[in-house]
Amino acid sequence: MTKPMHKREPPRGSGTRGSEPDRANESAVDLIDKLGGYEAKIAQGAEGRVFAVTFLNRPAIVKQRFKKTYRHPTLDAKITRARLVGETRALVRARKLGVPTPSLFYVDKRQNAIYMERVPGRSLKELIREGMSDEDMEEVGRQVGKHVAAMHDGGLIHGDLTTSNILVARRQTGEGDDGNAAEASLRVVIIDFGLASNSIIPEDKGVDLYVLERAITVTHAASRLFEAVMREYKTASGLWSASFNKFAEVRMRGRKRSMIG
């Protein structure tokens, strides 16, 4: 007696029309292109590109991580996705700690892109090069010290605390009694959490402070700004002592490397 023949089902996702994920990717809209981002590229670094767009009628910045062809595609996808999620979480966590950061609008996992508020202002790097008044250096240093202390006490390490990642915006405080606009005040915003990590280790905090010192003190006059940072950090942080001790050690190691070459 012969056994009945059973029809063999094809494996899921097979067929001439391709799998569901493949068809979805083919039909998906390139949102950056649709918003005109590729024609408004602001910057490009080793990890990604930054575009200026209008998102939901609001000025926005798109930070897109691109593929690395030297890595295996599967490994590259995992690393890129992990860094995208890590940066998003760090940005949200910093805001919860009271640190001024760009507002998060949208995360596009398919294009590995983060849409966030476009903050009006200039980088601290530009302002230092042009020269800042003593009053502005004191105010900016105070705010930077306060925000970095909040991150560190909350267990968040920025990882790339350079003056390019600190924006300074001027905002009007209202009108004076004579009807004229009052003098603008300064507002510091911390950006780019792509290298951020969670840590309560004083060594990591010390490295953050050392990177910031090296970035600020490119001119002798800007040393006053960093002094203001450290004064406010000491006032605002409940864990400043251990951080300062490690900062001194990291600074000494850095100077020795510079002398040796």
Closest CA to 120 of 64, 42, 189: 189
Q: Which runs of consecutive H residues, i.e. helices, occur in the chain?
A: 20-27, 31-34, 73-96, 124-130, 134-153, 202-216, 223-236, 240-260
d(CA 45, CA 38) in angstroms, rounded, equals: 15
> CA 37: distance to chain centroid?
19
From the candidates 160, 178, 192, 208, which is the catalytic residue?
A: 160
Annotated active-site residue 160? The verdict is yes
d(CA 181, CA 173) in angstroms, rounded, equals: 8
Positions marked active-site: 160
